[in-house]
Amino acid sequence: MTISGKAKLAGVMGWPVGHSRSPRLHGFWLEQYDIDGAYVPMAVRPEHLQAALRALPKLGFRGCNLTVPHKEAAIPLLDRIDDAARHIGAVNTVIVEADGTLTGRNTDAPGFIANLRQGAPGLTLDGATAMVIGAGGAARGIVAGLIEAGVVEIKLANRSPEKASAIAHGFEPYVVTVPWDERADRMDDLDLLVNTTSLGMTGQPPLDLPLDGLPRKAVVTDAVYAPLETDLLARARARGNPVVDGLGMLLHQAVPGFAAWFGVEPEVTEELRRHVLGA
């Protein structure tokens, strides 16, 4: 990889930003495709987000990713928001247009679906029934992706019912809320089960979700990717369910941004997975 005075520039804004795997991910592709470019972590305090975004064109940046806590806050600060970002209520990818204006996109939904299609090629999403656990920012992107892919019913279970109701309202009529205490009893017709909470992540308790009622053909996937095999995925695998880990969602959501900034549609490969995991 070379970085010349004409290098194409992008990065990720977060606060903190040290945990982000995006520099490692985009850095791998820059190297692989021998692109004159750089992708840098940018620690941006919430109160500086507007100034930092507006500085992008002045610094010659092609755009950036946004991570916690900027994904929702950026919406009113940009010039244009795509339909997905507006519906999900969060931006993860910012593009600097030729005239210096800023467009916000959300690529979580297609990233989630691309990972699922790659990891569970036997699953037909069109006409499927899914259960989604959790109702935070990750859940919104995943619900949007599932509906876009043709899922006809999404059972949404969240510890706090009002957050589940808010998502159900935003995605009528596809989402039905399931009381938290009934989540394990409403699985008999599922084709897909998704954990979108942070439970199961290293340092967090595991997701409390008995799988006895889940059909063995149902695919189980987890937005958590550290560890790669969460307690949920290990239990699902042990009883014979197909499982898809969450790392691919991170990798696939990065593809449209890289393509827009650096001009190459990058591939998600096993080598990339190993590289990002090695961080």
Q: Which is nearer to ligand ATR, 56 or 157 (CB)?
A: 157
Burial class, 173, CB count within 10 angstroms (exposed 0-12 / middle 13-18 / buried 19+) = exposed
Q: Which of residues 75, 117, 198, 206 is near ligand ATR by CB under 6 A?
A: 198
Told to check if 199 binds ligand ATR by CB under 6 A, we report yes
Nearer to ligand ATR, 103 or 196 (CB): 196
DSSP conformation class of 206: P
* CA 172 – CA 170 distance, rounded (Å): 6
Closest CB to ligand ATR among 96 and 201? 201
Should residue 210 be labelled a site residue for ligand ATR when binding is judged by CB under 6 A?
no
Decide if 225 contacts 251 (C-beta within 8 A): no
Q: Is there a catalytic annotation at residue 8?
A: no
134 touching ligand ATR, by CB under 6 A: yes
Residues that bind ligand ATR (rule: CB under 6 A) add up to a total of 14
CA 56 to chain centre: 23
| Piece of the chain touching ligand ATR by CB under 6 A; list 2-10, 110-118, 190-198, 228-236 | 190-198
Q: At its nearest, how many Å lie between ligand ATR and the CB of residue 208?
A: 7
- For 263, the 3-state DSSP assignment is coil
Shortest distance, position 70 Cβ to ligand ATR, whole Å? 12
Do residues 8 and 262 touch, judged by C-beta distance below 8 A?
Answer: yes
Q: Phi and psi dihedrals of 184, rounded to 5? A: -75, -15
**Is residue 75 exposed (0-12), middle (13-18) or buried (19+ Cβ within 10 Å)?**
middle
**Cis amide prior to 23 (ω within 30 degrees):** no
Question: CB neighbours (10 Å) of residue 205?
Answer: 10
Pick the binder of ligand ATR from 17, 49, 95, 135 (CB under 6 A).
135
Site track 137-176 with ligand ATR (rule: CB under 6 A), x = hit: xxx------------------xxx--x-------------
Q: Among 27, 136, 170, 206, which residue sits at the site for ligand ATR (rule: CB under 6 A)?
A: 136
Instruction: State which residue, 135 or 251, has the beta carbon closest to ligand ATR.
Output: 135
**Residue 91 found at the interface with ligand ATR (CB under 6 A):** no
- Indicate the SS3 state at residue 208: coil
Question: Do you find a cis peptide bond into 161, omega within 30 degrees of 0?
Answer: no
* Nearest distance from C-beta of residue 139 to ligand ATR, angstroms: 6
Catalytic choice (6, 58, 71, 163): 71
**E strand or H helix that includes residue 90:** none
Q: Which residues are catalytic?
A: 71
- Which residue ranges make up the site for ligand ATR (CB under 6 A)? 134-139, 158-160, 163, 196-199
